[in-house]
Structure 1
Amino acid sequence: MFSPASGYREMSIARTHHRFSLADYEQMIDQGILTESDRVELIRGEIIEKMSIGELHAACVKRLNRIFNVRLVGKTCVGVQDPVRLGNSEPEPDVTLLTPRDDDYADGHPEAEDVLLIVEVADSSLEFDRVVKREIYAENGVVEFWILNLLDRTLEVYRQPQADGRYDEVRVLSSTEKTDLVRLPGEEFVVADFFPPLG
């Protein structure tokens, strides 16, 4: 429509989204077109900028890393913001527990069958993690996905992935509750330990 006030014709402009394959994306990284300073990840074939990490977010990632490395020594390989290949996506979850391998995945990024647990630490990214990331993880058969919710100081536990992007088992645990791990039976964690002390 024409706007007399502006003197310009208003029009709807369709934006074209370019899709990238995993091979395209990894080639851009190998060639230095994308570097660690770009802070991006491949989500459903699109290169998406990652959210900024605040102090509390960073502290919780450090705590998870320390707890898992101390408690699960020899049982798992702990990844921190490392890529995982999932269909046409290559997200970089905050923390990943992987099946141990002698090469520590030097021969290729882990895939869904290597994953014991994915954890996303969420404040500003909460809805993105609950919807987009959750669907990707479920569709690709990630057996267990946690969201450490910094806004409510709760842990959201997702299990029993379905091909349509749902998890059949969803629990929201308060900081006083405990959780175990599907793929590492016998290990139990208190949710409060994942957060720095209040005050």
Structure 2
Amino acid sequence: MQKIETTLPLRLWTVEEYHRIAEVGIFGADERVELLDGKIIWMSAKGTAHTSSVGRTNKLLQNRLGNRAWVAIQDPVKLNERSEPEPDIAVVKVDPLDYADHHPIPPEIYLIIEVADSSLKLDCETKGKAYSKAGISDYWVLDVVSRQVHIFREPSEDGYQSEKILAEDETISPLEFPDLRIQVLEMLPLVSRS
């Protein structure tokens, strides 16, 4: 019996081609997409819990890091020639031109944080593998539904070798800033006590 190939060959895009597609207006103004492993993927809609967590985490990191790092919110990072995701939060090296001439690349990235309300599997698996292959040493997925954070470290070609899940009452420090102690609860949306 002959085996039938079920996977179709895909035409993968480069970051340069992705930029040209955007420049000619192929994507609508309201379309939220990003390039991951040569594939253009739809970004999840942002719920209120997602927006709240991104805002709280941004403010917390800005206040505590000061001038030690640049905190980028939902801006592109260039992982390689086929991946340019737009993580919810990227803590990157300070650049004298404020990244006016390029998007941050892996050697300039201290920490990536994705906030998941409906995208936990995508963030932990698909994006996690892309960040790991690019050598991002500290990757966090803030799960606003379960009110916990997944901490991914020890990147490899096959994915992160270490994953820890911390509850909202636990504390974490970024690898590059061990003096910065963050309680998970500080990054989560406030809960109504009615």
Equivalent pairs, count: 186
TM-score of the pair, normalised by structure 2: 0.90
Match of 1:23 among 2, 16, 40: 16
Q: Which residue pairs with 1:3 in the alignment?
A: none
SS of the aligned residue for 1:66 comes to: helix
Could you tell me how far 1:31 is from its partner in structure 2?
3.6
**Within 1, Cα distance between the matches of 2:86 and 2:7?**
29
Partner of residue 176 from structure 2, selected from 171, 183, 190: 183
Larger RCO: 1 or 2 (CA < 8 Å, sep 6+): 2
CA shift digits 1:58-98 (9 cap, x unpaired): 11100011111111110110111111111211110001100
Residue identity (%):
33
Amino acid in the other structure paired with 1:107:
D
Gaps of 5+ in 1: 1-12
C-alpha RMSD of matched pairs (Å)? 1.7
Match for residue 92 of structure 1 among 86, 104, 108: 86
1:38 deviates by: 1.7
Does 1:45 find its partner at 2:67?
A: no
Match of 1:161 among 155, 159, 163: 155
Contact 2:47 / 2:117 at 8 angstroms: preserved in 1? Answer: no
What runs of 5+ residues in structure 2 fail to find an aligned partner? 1-5
Q: Normalization by structure 1: what TM-score?
A: 0.88
3-state SS of the aligned residue for 1:48?
Answer: strand
Shift of 1:151: 1.6
The secondary structure found in structure 2 opposite 1:155 is: strand
Largest Rg, 1 or 2: 1
Who is 2:3 aligned against?
none
Answering whether residue 84 of structure 2 is matched by residue 104 of structure 1, we say no
